[in-house]
Chains A and B, each alone.
Chain A
Amino acid sequence: MEALLASIVVFTLATFLGVELINRVPTILHTPLMSGANAISGITIIGALIVAGGGHGWISTVLGFLAVVMAMINVVGGYVVTDRMLRMFKRKPEPR
């Protein structure tokens, strides 16, 4: 029970921290914010790796494999596309 309470404390504090951080992100960056936050939610990869590599029978392994695939799409796709967008934001246009 104490472990659960500690986790709830962490969750609550992180939510408030998130609100503070996100409110500082300017409107022009809201799309990269979304795809970047998306990539962060791919952190489920940790759970997916433990399930896929845990050797708990074939059903769990299949579910784990699919979870790893989905989470990796989320992580790699999210970070790469965010980087692609952020590199387009320039103060001065490139000389053509």
Chain B
Amino acid sequence: MPAWLAEISYLVAAVCFILGLKWLSSPTTAAQGNRLSGAGMALAIVVTLLDREVVSYGVIAAGVVVGSALGLWMARTVKMTAMPQMVALLNGFGGGASLLVGAAEFLKAARAGTVPRLDTAITIQLAVLVGAVTFSGSVAAWAKLEELMTGRPITFPWQKTFNALLFLAIAGLGTWLIVATPPRAPHWPLYAVAVLSLGLGVLLVIPIGGADMPVVISLLNSYSGIAGAMTGFVIRNDELIIAGALVGSSGIILSQIMCRAMNRSLANVLFGAFGGAGGTAAVKSAEGLSVRQVSPDDAAVQLGYAQSVIVVPGYGLAVAQGQHLVRELADLLEKKGGTVKYAIHPVAGRMPGHMNVLLAEANVPYDKLFDMDQINAEFERTDVVLVIGANDVVNPAARTDAASPIYGMPILNVDLARSIIVLKRGMGTGFAGIENELFYNPKTGMLFGDAKSSLTRLVAELKAL
């Protein structure tokens, strides 16, 4: 294949990626966009296979078959609740591939006895560093989400200093390799850079609490893109650079959105060890306040005669696998003439947009899903708000109590509704360990119990109504 044809094909593939992302701006075109993006990827792969540099196909065929089979199996079997783990692993594999390609390019130059150009030498080291950090950091994030590792921040004295020294050691070794250029340099510093970077990736993720994993996954998503772009600089392919840059910016934007939704800075998430064993200060005492309990039949009557209902789902709902019951409940209410909408806080799931996917899986139409900014003005005109497994994101203290650790965090203004029903296991506090005054509001009725069994009883009572 002539070089110009390959270049044009790569350009076409890049345009497919760009259009694919553009079509993600609406749920009606998103699926087509994803397929177009996949077609671009297929084109890029075919063009590369016809490249003059590729001389043997046996190893490639084996790798493609094994990788595709594993990827297909993961994609088909993964549960929607486990999507954050899946994305973490995929990020990791992308980073791992960049690490290996960077290392192989170094060894190739060393074997051929050629001196790589300075920029290639630099980007090889960057591809190895960023690729390795992405790989091991993603595996650590996956282990936290899969609960193979404690979700609490793991800290030790001088942690940041230690990490900084580790980074300096990597930078030193990398610089040595760049200056001493492969023909004369030994290979061990390259392996050392790879191993130390793998260690750094783990060390950067372990001090971050399980509740902050959405930010971490988004950031690792960005890293995997940057690692890909670095690989593009190494093999001098603009297609990789464009794709890597697109993914890099996507991850950064999503991390920012998640940080804003938690009213925290990225630095605070990454280095703050939030949610540690120390607990949070300034907890408002619940003494002297009482909660009002409601029975399932009272709650069913209240819901059944409501004109407008907003459901606020939290991750507790997904854990209890109660999405399908919520949809059933909503169907019954709509049959009785009420309207049902869903208010989704940005951090309602375990990754950006997670709750929307979980509800879509339960056949909830997407035009009933509203994000915080779209629906916050509607609460005061709403008869009943049904809060299921959500806590901190509906805590009015974020608006009113300057001493609260979550003060300033954007919340769903549930307390402005005419009445509120909260489905909750017990009076425990949320992730942040903060008392929630919404539960003591006279307008609020608490329905205690496991989300799934409470919903089952509500549905049964509504059917009997």
In the complex, are the beta carbons of B74 and A77 less than 8 A apart? Answer: yes
In the complex, are the beta carbons of A17 and B246 less than 8 A apart? Answer: yes
Max chain A Cβ within 10 angstroms of own Cβ: one of B55, B104, B356: B104
Bound CA span A12–B20, Å: 20
Of chain A, the residue at the smallest CB distance from B24 is A25
In the complex, are the beta carbons of B253 and A41 less than 8 A apart? Answer: no
Do A56 and B67 contact each other (CB < 8 Å), given the known contacts A38-B87, A85-B357?
Answer: no
In the complex, are the beta carbons of A50 and B59 less than 8 A apart? Answer: no
User: Interface range on chain B: under 10, 10 to 19, 20 to 34, or 35 or more?
Assistant: 35 or more
In the complex, are the beta carbons of A86 and B100 less than 8 A apart? Answer: no
Do A40 and B51 contact each other (CB < 8 Å), given the known contacts A46-B235, A71-B67?
Answer: no
Q: In whole Å, how far is A14's beta carbon from the nearest beta carbon of chain B?
A: 4
Q: What does the 1/0 interface line of A3-32 toward B look like (CB < 8 Å)?
A: 110010011101111110111111111111
> Does B309 touch A at the CB level, under 8 Å?
no
In the complex, are the beta carbons of B221 and A31 less than 8 A apart? Answer: no
Name the contact of B48 in the complex, choosing from A7, A46, A73, A88 (C-beta under 8 A).
A46
Bound CA span A31–B34, Å: 13
Tally of contacts, chain A with chain B, CB under 8 A: 392
> Does B402 touch A at the CB level, under 8 Å?
no
In the complex, are the beta carbons of A46 and B239 less than 8 A apart? Answer: yes
User: Interface range on chain A: under 10, 10 to 19, 20 to 34, or 35 or more?
Assistant: 35 or more
Residues of A22-78 whose CB lies within 8 A of B = 22-57, 59-61, 63-78
Bound CA span A24–B78, Å: 28
Bound CA span A84–B73, Å: 13
Bound CA span A93–B305, Å: 24
> Does B439 touch A at the CB level, under 8 Å?
no
Name the contact of A70 in the complex, choosing from B94, B242, B253, B361 (C-beta under 8 A).
B94
Q: In whole Å, how far is A58's beta carbon from the nearest beta carbon of chain B?
A: 10
Max chain A Cβ within 10 angstroms of own Cβ: one of B72, B93, B346: B93
Name the contact of A48 in the complex, choosing from B22, B100, B249 (C-beta under 8 A).
B100
Q: In whole Å, how far is A88's beta carbon from the nearest beta carbon of chain B?
A: 4
Bound CA span A53–B234, Å: 17
> Does B414 touch A at the CB level, under 8 Å?
no
Bound CA span A30–B361, Å: 15
Q: Which residues of A contact B (CB under 8 A)?
A: 1, 3-4, 7, 10-12, 14-19, 21-57, 59-61, 63-94, 96
Q: List 10 A-B contacts (CB under 8 A).
A: A14-B241, A14-B242, A17-B245, A18-B21, A43-B240, A47-B235, A64-B101, A71-B97, A83-B38, A96-B363
Task: Please give 4 more A-B residue pairs, beta carbons under 8 A apart, in addition to A11-B245, A90-B360.
Answer: A47-B101, A70-B100, A74-B71, A88-B360
